Amino acid sequence: MPASSTFVSVNTPIGVAVDTQRLLYTQYTVTNPGDPAIFSVSDTGTVSIFAPSFPSTSGSVEKYIDINPGLGAWASKAHFIYVTQGREIYEITPDGTQVSLFAALPSGAATHAGITFDGEGTFNNDMIVTDPGGSVFRVDSTGSVTLVATVDESPIEGPAVVPMGFGPHGGEVWVAAEGAGAVLAVRNDGTVSVITREIPGAENVRVVPAEPSEFGASGGAYFAADYPARIIKYTAADFASLAGNVLVGQEPITFRPSTPAPSRVALRALPSSAQDAPCSSMRPSSSAAGSAS
How many CB atoms lie under 10 A from the CB of residue 144? 10
Q: What is the pLDDT of residues 229-275, one digit of tens each?
A: 999 999 999 888 888 889 998 875 433 333 333 333 345 555 444 43
The set of residues, in sequence order, having a beta carbon less than 8 Å from that of 83 and lying 6+ positions away, is: 15, 26, 38, 54, 63, 64, 65, 89, 90, 92, 115
Task: Work out the widest C-alpha separation in the chain, in whole angstroms.
Answer: 47
Question: What is the percent of the chain where pLDDT is above 90?
Answer: 71
The CA radius of gyration of the chain, in Å to the nearest whole number, is: 17
pLDDT at 269: 53
Length of the chain: 293
pLDDT score of 271:
47
The pLDDT value recorded for residue 195 is 95
pLDDT-based confidence at residue 293 (cuts at 50, 70, 90): low
Residue 239 sits at the vertex; the CA angle it makes with 113 and 13, to the nearest 5 degrees, is 35
Residues in contact with 178: Cβ distance below 8 Å, sequence separation at least 6, in sequence order: 155, 156, 157, 201, 202, 203, 251
Check pLDDT > 80 for residue 282: no
Residue 168 has pLDDT above 60, yes or no: yes
Calpha distance 89→188 (Å, rounded): 21
Tell me: pLDDT of 90 over 80: yes
Amino acid at 244: G
Contact 141, 74 (CB under 8 A): yes
Query: Per-residue pLDDT tens for 113-156?
Result: 999 999 999 999 999 999 999 999 999 999 999 999 999 998 99
Residue-wise pLDDT for 210-231, tens only, equals 888 899 999 999 999 999 999 9
State in words which class domain 5-291 has. Answer: mainly beta
Distance CA 210, CA 216 (A): 18
DSSP 251-277: --TT--TTSPPPS-EEEEEE-TT-SS-
What pLDDT shows up at residue 284?
A: 26
